[in-house]
Amino acid sequence: MEIFVEVAKLRSFSEAGRRLGLTRAMVSKHILQLEEKLQARLLHRSTREVSLTDAGQAYLAPCMATVAQSQEAARALSQATQAGAELAGPLRIQAPSSFGSEWLADAVARFSLPHPQLAPMLYVDDALLDPIEHGFDLTIRVGGIPDVHALAMRPLAPCRGVLCASPAYLARYGVPQTPQDLREHRCLHFSHLTDGTQWHFTRGEERQTVRVQAAFTANNGVVLQQAAQRGLGIVYNTTFLAWRALLEGTLVPVLADWELPLNHLSALYPASRQPSAKVRALIDFLVAEYQPVPPWDRELAAAGLLELV
């Protein structure tokens, strides 16, 4: 019945499957079984769209009420039984490789210590993987939700950008004074930036956009930071990755009086399912770790390398 409601609302077997974490074939199989049980055709299928038959239209409203009632009962039972339950079983987490190795791995380990029956599985990858398709319970991502219907989001921390370069590079090539000076510099480019090689800057009401020439491109922030520390160029970095190098002086900020676009680290999980106790507990743990100001930004602010607004 829940599958039928989703197909009716979305007019698509594929979209309903994405939202429910099922394949299109499995969605179709369940609808056929429901029609056989009711001895009525509920949906018209075509190559372009799915629509309700008269029987399907009549069945939809009571079906929606039943599904809503069932979900509410499940939520009530979950809240009653999981409040003191031991966290156990697999917990599949996906995160960007740089954040996963620099911060999340340690946080997940500390979260798991009081729960010996919990078995976290941390998958670090900079590819924008679909968490439903790949079976992740929780995905940590920089930026928003790719599919607002299928995924729910909870913000974890601000993700601040910072331009930086090694002292050796700046001694050799000079220090850029304006964003437009970057046209004449060697720039290290993160290939997953949504605007490509266009870098955006603001200072008060002033805004500038510069299309840089990438001297080196990679899909991994750690790789780019290592190249910058070797003196290869100016890197568009994040404070959660650059903080230690900035404190140690192996990298120094560039154009610090200009701001890069503020992004966020977010926790994503399937919107169609009530998050399990272990998923909720981990998200709550990470929020407590990283809000209101994440530890990497606190370190930079204490050293006078970051101004918190």
Query: What CATH number is associated with residue 283?
Result: 3.40.190.10
**Do the domain assignments include residue 258?**
no
16 shares its domain with 46: yes
| The two three-digit tokens of residue 260, written as one number | 């890069």
Q: Name the domain boundary from 32, 52, 82.
A: 82
77 shares its domain with 29: yes
Q: Name the domain boundary from 82, 100, 128.
A: 82
**Do the domain assignments include residue 71?**
yes
What domain range is 45 assigned to?
2-82
**169 with 239: CB under 8 angstroms?**
no
Q: How many domains does the chain have?
A: 3
152 shares its domain with 167: no
Tell me, what amino acid is at 269?
Answer: Y
**Do the domain assignments include residue 259?**
no
pTM of the predicted model as reported, rounded to 2 decimal places:
0.69
139 shares its domain with 97: yes
**225 with 188: CB under 8 angstroms?**
no
Dist. CA 253–CA 291, nearest whole Å: 24
* Total residues belonging to the chain: 309
**Do the domain assignments include residue 21?**
yes
* Residues in the chain, pLDDT under 70: 70-85, 144-149, 194, 272-273, 309
**Do the domain assignments include residue 307?**
no
Residue 266 neighbours by CB distance under 10 Å: 20
CATH number at residue 17: 1.10.10.10
What is the maximum alpha-carbon separation in the chain?
A: 79
Per residue in 267-280, pLDDT (tens digit) is: 988 876 677 899 99
74 shares its domain with 42: yes
28 shares its domain with 145: no
36 shares its domain with 168: no
Tell me, what amino acid is at 308?
Answer: L
Q: Name the domain boundary from 82, 102, 127.
A: 82
Look-up of token digits 């407590």: 288
**Do the domain assignments include residue 221?**
yes
Dist. CA 14–CA 1, nearest whole Å: 16
HEC-encoded secondary structure of the chain:
CHHHHHHHHHCCHHHHHHHHCCCHHHHHHHHHHHHHHHCCCCEEECCCCEEECHHHHHHHHHHHHHHHHHHHHHHHHHHHHHCCCCCCEEEEEEECHHHHHHHHHHHHHHHHCCCCCEEEEEEECCCCCCCCCCCCCEEEEECCCCCCCCEEEEEEEEECEEEEECHHHHHHHCCCCCHHHHHHCCEEEECCCCCCCEEEEEECCEEEEEECCEEEEECCHHHHHHHHHCCCCEEEEEHHHHHHHHHHCCCEECCCCCECCCEEEEEEEECCCCCCHHHHHHHHHHHHHHCCCCHHHHHHHHCCCCCCC
**Do the domain assignments include residue 308?**
no
241 shares its domain with 284: no
DSSP bridge pairs for 138: 93
pLDDT at 151: 78
Per residue in 282-306, pLDDT (tens digit) is: 999 999 999 888 999 999 999 999 8
Mean pLDDT of the chain: 87
153 shares its domain with 165: no
Look-up of token digits 């372009």: 48
Dist. CA 7–CA 52, nearest whole Å: 10
**Do the domain assignments include residue 70?**
yes
**264 with 238: CB under 8 angstroms?**
no
| The two three-digit tokens of residue 123, written as one number | 């998958």
134 shares its domain with 168: no
132 shares its domain with 17: no
198 shares its domain with 247: yes
pLDDT at 273: 65
